[in-house]
Amino acid sequence: RSRRARPPATFLFAYGTLMRGYGLHRTLAAGATFVDEGRVRGHLLSLGRYPGLVAGSGHVRGEVYRVDDPELLPVLDREEGYNFERRRTPVTLAAGRRARAWVYWYTGPQQHAVSIPDGDFRRAQPPGRRP
């Protein structure tokens, strides 16, 4: 009869250690597929070994993934920890398309954080390099 419509894709925007080449990427890759580079509005902070996204007028660069396994999100929530809140956020893909994606926003203390003015964690802390 009629084909069942596929549910809309669930996207996740990664801007730190979930990106390719970093320590937590294998956890993300177990249940998600890379789609494109992307950016979100906000400001990036270095919190030592990982970054945190906070509200701001700039843009933060990262990677957009399609979540293939719904069980992945609770796993990532535990990995990110209590100082991060997952919220749907508008993201602009490199090709110019816009989408809504889950993004982890940093909600913890900022007194020891260092600004990453260009919003690019990969440039501030290349994979494989320790802070």
* Segment 50-61, tens digit of pLDDT: 999 999 999 999
Residue 37: CB atoms within 10 Å: 14
List the Cα angle 56/100/54 in 5-degree steps.
Answer: 20
Confidence of residue 95 (pLDDT cuts 50, 70, 90): confident
Residue 13: CB atoms within 10 Å: 28
pLDDT of res. 7: 66
What digits encode the pLDDT tens for the residues 44-92? Answer: 999 999 999 999 999 999 999 999 998 999 999 999 999 999 999 999 9
CA-to-CA distance for 68 and 54, rounded, in angstroms? 27
What digits encode the pLDDT tens for the residues 4-28? Answer: 566 678 999 999 999 999 999 999 9
H/E run at residue 34: strand 32-46
Q: Is 96 left (phi over 0), alpha (psi -120 to 50) or beta?
A: left
Q: What is the pTM of this model?
A: 0.92
